[in-house]
Amino acid sequence: MTSFEAASVVCRAVGALGRRLRAQRPPNSLSATKLVLLGQLYRRGSATQADLAERERIQPQSLTRVLAELVGEGLISRRPDPQDGRKQLLDITPRGRAELTGDVQTRDAWLAKAMEAELSEPEREILRAAAKLMERLADVG
């Protein structure tokens, strides 16, 4: 199998699993965009709007409305950047952390149950190793 063929197989599998995991989310849960932004702030800490946009490879203006909603919902907070008072830093709030964690736990629980039911222990180990490799690929510039 060529690298291109392998890439195609991986893309299809990741897409299918992603769709299945999204289907496990409760009907009134946060949007995928909001969850991604909360996840960035949770994992990497404080960030400016421009930092978040760069990490997600989107225009900063595209985040304005979503970030305002997150602030309004009490899921993130804004504070002046101590290095540059013209900028604002965004932080996840305890409520935002709870929303994110609840969403992640729901999907993780479904996936753990499916893996236990469908995969042998050696297959689960292969999947864990593959996940680490995919994370490495996701960080490639």
Note the pLDDT tens digit of each residue in 101-139. Answer: 999 999 999 999 999 999 999 999 999 999 999 999 988
Which tokens hold the place of 58?
């989107």
pLDDT at 141: 65
- Assessment of whether the complete model's pTM goes beyond 0.85: no
Asked if 92 and 42 touch (Cβ cutoff 8 Å), the reply is yes
The three-class DSSP label of residue 140 is coil
Q: Which residues lie across from 80 on neighbouring strands? A: 88
Domain boundaries, the chain: 3-138
Fold of 3-138: Arc Repressor Mutant, subunit A (1.10.10)
* Closest listed residue to residue 16, CA positions, set 103, 114, 101: 114
